[in-house]
Amino acid sequence: MPSRIKDIYALFAALALLIALFIAPMAEASEPSNTADQDSWQFRVFLDDREIGYHHFHLAEVGEHRQLRSVAEFEISLLFVKLFDYEHEALETWSGNCLQSIRSRTDSNGDDYRLDGRRTADGFMLEVDQQPVSLPACVMSFAYWNPSFLEQTQLLNSQDGRFLDVRVSGPSTEQLMVGGAAQPSLRYHVEAGDMSLDLWYSKDRRWLALESEVDGGRTLRYEPITG
C-alpha cells in the first residue's frame, strides 16, 4: 500500500494555506505584493473511513501569471505505530494553460524527491534529482483545480518528473454529498500509468472531490472542507 499511495500523491500538483513551505527560495517567491485575485481548495483526506491527512491548494494572480502553492501531508498508523508518512509541497507558475515554472519537494516515507523546472526558448527544462529532462514548451501538470487538464493526453508528474500518457472519460452526471447536502456534479475518470481515479466538478467546473482505489481494495478519498 505505501508505494501505491506514494505514486498517487505524487500527481498533485498540486497549494498551501496553513503551513510554511520547506524550501526557502520557494517561500520567498510565493509572497507577491501585487496579488489581484486568489482562490483556494482545501481537502480532508481519508483512507476508507479513516482520516489520514489533508491537501490544500492556494491560487493567486501574480501580474500576468497565476501562481499555485500546494501542501499535502498524510500519516498512516496502526496501534500508535507509524506505518507510512508523506509530505509534498509545490510551487507552480502558470501562463494560461502552460506551466512556466515548477519547484517541488516530496518526502515519501523517508524517500526524498526534488523537482525544478522552467519554460525556456528550447522547451520546458526540468531538473529531476539533479538530472536534466527536456519536455515540450507547453506542458500541464495534474492540475485538478483547472478542468482544462482533462483535455490533455500527457501530463507532468510533479514529484518525479515523468511525462505520463493520460486517458480521460466522462463526464457523467451525479449527485455528490458536499457538506451534508446533495449537489449536482460532473464525474470524470482519469487513468495515467498505474493510477486510476475519479474526479467530481460542480456545474460551473469547480473541483469538488477525488476518489481512487489503492492496494488491497481500499479507497483513498478527498472531501472538501466546508463551513
Its domain, for residue 151, covers 2-224
The total domain count for the chain is: 1
More confident residue, 60 or 22: 60
Tell me whether strands 123-128 and 195-201 are parallel, antiparallel or unpaired.
unpaired
Categorize the per-residue pLDDT at 109 as very low, low, confident or very high, splitting at 50, 70 and 90: confident
Does residue 104 register a pLDDT over 90? yes
Does residue 162 register a pLDDT over 80? yes
Contact 132, 119 (CB under 8 A): no
Closest to 69 measured CA to CA, from 141, 127, 13 = 13
Contact 195, 215 (CB under 8 A): no
Q: What is the mean pLDDT of residues 169-197?
A: 93
Does residue 27 register a pLDDT over 80? no
Contact 206, 198 (CB under 8 A): no
41, three cell numbers: 481548495
Overall pTM surpassing 0.85 (yes/no)? no
- CB neighbours of 181 closer than 8 A, spacing ≥ 6? none
